[in-house]
Amino acid sequence: MIASTLALTGLVAVLLAKPAFAGDQLTITSGGGSYQQAQRKAVFEPFSKSTGIKIINDEYNYDSAKIRAMVQSKTVSWDVVNANPMTTIMLCNEGIIETIDWTKLGLDRAKFLDNDKNDCGVPNQLSTTVIAYDKDKLPNGPKTIADLFDVQKFPGKRGLFKGAWSNFEWALIADGVAMKDVYKVLNTPKGVDRAFKKLDTIKKDVVWWTTGAQPPQLLADGQVVMTSAYNGRIYDAIKNSGKHFEIMWDAQLPAISFWVIPKGDPRLDDAYKFITFASSPQAHADLAHITAYAPGNKDAMALVDPAILPLLPTAPDNLRNALPNNSIFWMEKGDELGQRFTAWLLK
């Protein structure tokens, strides 16, 4: 084990050894906000310091359209992109992103979570969507996802993502569907109708959000009594803004992000160099300390501060009633259900 670790360390050193030249730079694109700030501190800045390669940041909303347009027009300017599972699978199937050469990375694919999900992405951090509330305003907060829909027990506005994803799953679970059957039920017309019927019960009490920065602000401003949110955003509000927020982990929806490279990237070698650096155990552990997102590299867990471990989505207590995101289902049904959801909102 020690010998293999030393060999990997040596290989990474070789990969990073090529001197950078004036003008060497990479554009790394991610989802913005506190997460991208954490990436700058834990990954981008240390990479630049190690290699001399300047990192230019860009942001996007995880929509695949711009990546596809760049590749099809042969004007690729994003060298590495942090993509969600659905985007990664879809663009891989379309041939829009590079097939990853793990030998060129110098990394052991078996060391990564969700390493078998596709051939075009390197697993990064595992984040999750949860329900959060302010303990100062709701000391006896929600305990199960059914409480999200209980306006008698918890009167007041709820914050929810303005889309079908997450809301349909939670509606069915709150309506009594077993976790293992959620996507089977949602894959039927009756199941979709059942989800809408449950959502009807709280529709007038919902404040809809569209960006990850909004849920903590909705809580802080007292606009909602509870809200769906990305766990890292809530952790950031607690750690850096002193908020007394609490996460309710029941029916959390974990999903891992991937580093991908748009097809035809003119800086392919340096893109690989960046992913190798960003995927090391130390980089993943450093990012976990700032965000409380779980490392995609399993070897990073040994480097994570024990105080952080219970706050990760992958902590055993937090995973007990988790519903892993079914990217294939949403890739196939997302457009159809999204259109129905939009029409429902306008009713």
At 238-265, the pLDDT tens digits run 999 999 999 999 999 999 999 999 999 9
Same domain? For 11 and 133 the reply is: no
Instruction: Tell whether 99 and 185 lie within a shared domain.
Output: no
pLDDT digits (tens, 9 = 90+) for 74-92: 999 999 999 999 999 999 9
The pairing of beta strand 80-83 with beta strand 54-59: unpaired
Domain that holds residue 65: 2-125+257-311
Closest to 54 in 3D by CA, of 31, 82, 30, 79:
79
Q: Are residues 207 and 341 in the same domain?
A: yes
| Distance in Å from the first CA to the final CA of the chain | 60
Tell me: the pLDDT tens digits for 88-122? Answer: 999 999 999 999 999 999 999 999 998 777 899 99
Scan for tokens 């392919």, then name that residue: 268
CATH of the domain at 84: 3.40.190.10
Give me the pLDDT at residue 32, please. Answer: 87
- With contact defined as beta carbons under 8 Å apart, do 67 and 88 qualify? no
What value does the mean pLDDT of the chain take?
A: 92
Structure tokens at 126: 């595992």
At 174-206, the pLDDT tens digits run 999 999 999 999 999 999 999 999 999 999 999
For residues 259 and 266, what is the distance between their CA atoms, to the nearest angstrom?
17
Both 181 and 300 in one domain: the answer is no
